[in-house]
């Protein structure tokens, strides 16, 4: 598979996707720092989780718009995967008053891993599609 240079100016949406990705990364780092503090406020953790979920929602919305504009053949499957991923936040938000428990931290880690693995696979497929259809 071919990788796509993240600096290629295909569409202004690509810039937005990169901005969201960077903001998600910042939010995850803040969440990690908050979770390391065993005396930390679970309300802050819940606020950061809500912010992270909103960033994912925006990222996915713009990605889906970009893919639809390119007539990407599996954009509907992508939307389904995005929806399932966003549902994985629900158990975390229900357990927000227990944000320092091993179960909560494991669930949060699993969300991060799911996003990274799925994003890598999806990005590679999208790159292959762009290379084969736009070069």
Query: For residue 113, what pLDDT band results from cuts at 50, 70 and 90?
Result: confident
| Contacting residues for 83 by C-beta, under 8 A, at least 6 apart | none
Q: Mean pLDDT over all residues of the chain?
A: 82
pLDDT digits (tens, 9 = 90+) for 51-82: 999 999 998 898 888 889 888 898 999 899 89
Evaluate whether 108 touches 94 at the Cβ level (below 8 Å): no
Residue among 122, 116, 131 nearest 10 (CA): 131
All structural domains of the chain with their residue ranges = 12-134
Q: How many C-beta atoms surround the C-beta of residue 76 within 10 A?
A: 12
Q: Once rounded to an integer, what is the mean pLDDT over residues 105-113?
A: 88
Q: How many C-beta atoms surround the C-beta of residue 102 within 10 A?
A: 8
CA 47-48-54 angle, 5° bins = 95
Is residue 1's pLDDT more than 50?
A: no
pLDDT digits (tens, 9 = 90+) for 77-91: 989 989 999 998 888
């Amino acid at each position: 598979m071919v990788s796509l240079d993240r600096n290629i100016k295909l569409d202004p949406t690509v810039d937005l996707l990169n901005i969201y990705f960077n903001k998600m990364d910042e939010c995850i780092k803040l969440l990690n720092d908050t979770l390391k503090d065993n005396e930390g406020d679970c309300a802050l953790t819940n606020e950061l989780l809500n912010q992270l979920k909103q960033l994912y929602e925006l990222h996915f919305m713009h990605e889906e718009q970009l893919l639809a504009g390119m007539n990407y053949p599996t954009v509907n499957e992508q939307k389904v995967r995005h929806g399932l991923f966003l549902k994985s936040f629900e158990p975390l938000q229900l357990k927000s008053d227990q944000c320092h428990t091993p179960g909560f931290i494991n669930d949060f880690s699993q969300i991060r891993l799911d996003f990274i693995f799925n994003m890598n696979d999806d990005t590679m497929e999208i790159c292959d599609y762009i290379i084969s259809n736009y070069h």
